[in-house]
Chain A
Amino acid sequence: MKIEVDALSFSVGKKRILNGVSARFEGRKIYGIIGPNGSGKTTLLRHLYRQYPANGHVRVDGVRVEQIPRRQYARRIAVMMQLQSFAESELRVSEVVRTGRYPYKKVMMPYDRGDKAILEEVMRETSLWALRDRRVGTLSGGEMQRVMFARCLVQRPKAILLDEPTNHLDIQYRIELMKRLRAFDGMTIMTLHDLNLAARYCDTIYLMKDGTILAEGTPAELLTAEWIDRAFGVRVDVLKRDGEIFIGL
């Protein structure tokens, strides 16, 4: 699996949000996109999951994304959403996870035994089986996050995209999610706020500022006091111990 972004620009009204962004995502790795608010990281991610038109500037395995049929695309790339509407709060856990099988079904074709088997396997794996009949409105933040992750897994994708997945989560759930992503057999691309999580779990980091990519590299290369100052305009202390990076604000 290979996703290439080539000289992608995007404006809303007169405001330029992305300015000639090029990036390359490949193989079974965790990519982190970091940068200050308004740097364009979420917009970049939304182009990857086709919320915004890519106009030929984004390719998956060499094919322009707008040429890939919707369902085909969803079979390869899953997006971990955060739910916040009221509409779904009375749905049961298994019913939410089940919707991940949608890309494999034609219109008017019901979910079958094969889907059920995958559903059960994934839900046991993510310790959701015991919660399968619970209404999702009654779940904790950590459990809900596991539900949405399971929904991605039943989609059997080659890549999972996440937009600020850890924003509303307590620290133990952040770490749990990162560990699950580490175990996922595929590519992960996520935007992240938390630089310490990025340091610890990402293989490659794209550092963004003002709609452009400032630099690409490993956490050891980019999460230095100098780069963080250039991107965020703040002075931080970066400590290294046993090869691990700690950023103190």
Chain B
Amino acid sequence: MKRFYWIICLTLALFLCATAFGALFWGAASLTRGDVLDALRALVTGGEAANPNLYNLVVMVRLPRVCLCVLGGAVLSIVGILMQTLTGNPLAEPYVLGVSSGASAGAAGAIVFRWFAFLPVGRVVFSAFVGSFIAIALVVALQGKSTSPVRLVLTDMGVSAFFQAATTLIIYSSNNEAQARSAQYWLTGSFSGSNWADVRVTLAALILLLILCRLLEKELDLLLLGQDAAAQSGMNVRAMQLVLILLSALAVSVVVSVSGLVGFVGLIIPHIMRRVVGTSHRPLVAASALAGGCFLNLADTVARTAFAPQEMPIGVMTAFIGAPVFILMIRRICHEDRG
């Protein structure tokens, strides 16, 4: 079993490296293979690049974007797992639950209304965090101990609709055209304009997630048996829920504030990986992080090349793949419900 798990992770890691490397060669501006390799050689050796403009394009635009997609995909997949465990429901996911919408409402509010203006740095991320925390807490409170998928989905529709309306309201109440456009960006999701600062924040969020998932894997596995079973085994369920809500809200707010709303990654990837490596959290988190990175990077590569030089929002790509999976999962679960 262990060997199988290592083979899967190794394969995924190799595939991730290959696709990330490959993604550097595709994009709106057509670069030759030699240009990219030259820029990378200059980056690694610290030497002079043959063409500084091309160097900037590769190292300051394309490379951070690829890194951000890989990291963002990993974070979204792990957050998806945490939310599925928290709600006891395989359909839970940041976007579906309205948590991402909560984060984007918070981010839009920080931009347009200058919420939390007293903070020196990270105002937008903090405001997004507050928004997503409220959204998850609301979902968990409204859901209670029920694991009914129908109830979950309907609750989330309400929460999600509310926060999307709030975001739109905030955007429309802005007098400043540039602000409104920047806030609009939170609703669609895109990795264009990625920079190294975004990469660093997302990397920090991913490392925090991985460490806490490893430390709390025993608790997470127990929660899968349900809140009652966890409480009877001596777990402080409320405290654990709070930790998971805080952690998820933090991770989602980071990803939303660097990329906007990107849905369904946390739904598709854990769903597939559960079939492959099982539900126990140690293998599931590792495999999903790797697979999520591959997936989002591939999706972004398609999004930015399919209609070049026009760019398609990545949220559209992931929804096109994610929504059918979501519908199939509902069908299967409702089928099991009857049987």
Report A's interface with B, CB cutoff 8 A.
49-51, 69-75, 78-79, 81, 83, 85-92, 95-96, 98-100, 102-103, 105, 107-111, 133, 135, 155
- One of B1, B85, B234, B236 near A103 (C-beta < 8 A): B234
Chain B residues within 8 Å of A133, by CB: 1
User: Which of B102-110, B112-120, B218-226 is found at the contact surface with chain A?
Assistant: B218-226
B164 within 8 A of A: no
| Contact assessment for A90 and B278 in the assembled complex, using a CB-CB cutoff below 8 Å | yes
Complex interface residues of chain B between 70 and 123 (CB less than 8 A to chain A): 84-85, 88-90
Residues of B close to A96: CB separation below 8 A? 225
Interface contact B278-A87, CB-CB below 8 Å: no
CA distance A92 to B5 in the complex (A): 14
Contacts of B88 in A (CB 8 A): 85-87
B175 lies within 8 A of chain A by Cβ: no
Q: A85: which of B147, B231, B233, B234 is its contact (CB, 8 Å)?
A: B147
Known: A91-B221, A135-B278. A73 touches B89 (CB 8 A): no
Docked Cα-Cα span, A131 to B90, in Å, equals 25
- B212, closest chain A residue (CB): A108
Report the bound CA distance from A67 to B255 in whole Å. Answer: 43
A81 touching B226, Cβ below 8 Å = yes
18 extra A-B contacts, CB within 8 A, seeds A81-B225, A99-B222: A50-B232, A51-B231, A70-B236, A73-B234, A86-B336, A87-B89, A88-B224, A90-B274, A91-B278, A92-B278, A95-B278, A95-B280, A99-B225, A102-B218, A103-B233, A107-B219, A108-B218, A110-B217
Q: Say yes or no: A91 contacts B234, CB within 8 Å.
A: no
Q: Which residue of B lies closest to A103 (CB)?
A: B234
For the complex formed, measure the closest distance between the CB of B302 and the CB atoms of chain A, giving whole angstroms: 30
Partner of B280, one of A79, A87, A91: A91
How distant is B115 from chain A, measured CB to nearest CB, in Å? 35
The answer to whether A87 and B224 touch (CB under 8 A), given A92-B280, A108-B215, A133-B1, is yes
B279:A88 contact, CB within 8 angstroms: yes
B3 at interface by CB-CB < 8 Å: no
Can you list 6 pairs linking A and B with CB atoms under 8 Å apart?
A83-B226, A87-B224, A88-B224, A96-B225, A108-B218, A133-B1
* B17 interface residue per 8 A CB criterion: no
Closest Cβ of chain B to A213, distance in Å, is 24
* Given A105-B218, A110-B218, A135-B278, A87-B234 contact (CB < 8 Å): no
In the assembled complex, the CB of A65 is this many whole angstroms from the nearest CB of chain B, namely 13
Complex: chain B residue closest to A91, CB-CB: B279
Interface check B48, CB cutoff 8 A: no
Of the residues A86, A92, A135, contact of B90 by C-beta under 8 Å: A86
Which residues in A have their C-beta under 8 angstroms from that of B85? Answer: 87
Which residues on the B side are within 8 Å of A85 (C-beta)?
88, 147, 226
Q: How many contacts A-B (CB < 8 Å)?
A: 97
CA distance A71 to B235 in the complex (A): 7
Which of these, A50, A83, A92, A105, contacts B225 with CB under 8 Å? A83
> Among the listed B219, B231, B233, B235, which residue makes an inter-chain contact with A100, where contact means beta carbons less than 8 Å apart?
B233
Chain A residues closer than 8 Å to B217, beta-carbon distance: 110
Determine if A81 and B279 form an interchain contact, defined as CB atoms under 8 angstroms apart.
no
Residues on B lying within 8 angstroms of A by beta carbon are: 1, 84-85, 88-90, 147, 149, 215-219, 221-222, 224-226, 228-229, 231-236, 274-275, 278-280, 333, 336
Best-buried of A75, A85, A100, A103 by chain B (most CB within 10 Å): A85
Are B89 and A102 in touch, CB under 8 angstroms? no
Cβ–Cβ contact A111 & B218, under 8 A? yes
Closest 10 CB pairs of A and B: A74-B234, A71-B234, A90-B279, A70-B234, A103-B234, A102-B233, A85-B147, A87-B88, A108-B215, A88-B224
Q: Which of A89, A99, A103 contacts B221 (CB 8 A)?
A: A99
A146 to chain B, nearest CB (A): 16
Most buried by B among A49, A86, A90, A92: A86
CA distance A22 to B22 in the complex (A): 73
A102 and B333 CA atoms in complex are apart in Å by 29
Judge whether A87 and B235 touch: CB under 8 Å.
no
A102-B218, A108-B216 as given contacts; A91 in contact with B224, CB under 8 Å: yes
- Minimum CB–CB distance for B243 against chain A, Å: 10
Contact A87 B147 (CB under 8 A): yes
List A contacts of B225 (CB < 8 A): 81, 83, 87-88, 96, 99
List of B residues within 8 angstroms of A74 by Cβ: 232-234
List of B residues within 8 angstroms of A99 by Cβ: 221-222, 225, 229, 233
Q: Known contacts A74-B234, A86-B147; is A102 also within 8 Å of B222 by CB?
A: yes
The answer to whether B224 touches A81, judged by C-beta atoms less than 8 angstroms apart, is no
Give Cα distance in the complex from A75 to B88, angstroms.
25
Enumerate chain B residues within 8 angstroms of A102, measured Cβ to Cβ: 218, 222, 233-235
User: Considering the chains assembled together, what is the distance between the CA atoms of A86 and B90 in angstroms?
Assistant: 8
Residues of chain B with a CB closer than 8 A to A79's CB: 229, 232
The smallest C-beta distance from A66 to any residue of chain B, in angstroms, reads 14
A109 to B214 Cα, complex, angstroms: 10
A155 CB contacts on chain B under 8 angstroms: 233
Contacts of B1 in A (CB 8 A): 133
Closest CB of chain A to B81's CB: distance in Å? 11
CB-based nearest B residue for A110: B218
A49 lies within 8 A of B222 (CB): no
Complex CA distance for A87 and B223, rounded to whole angstroms: 9
Whole-angstrom CA separation of A90 from B283 in the bound complex: 13
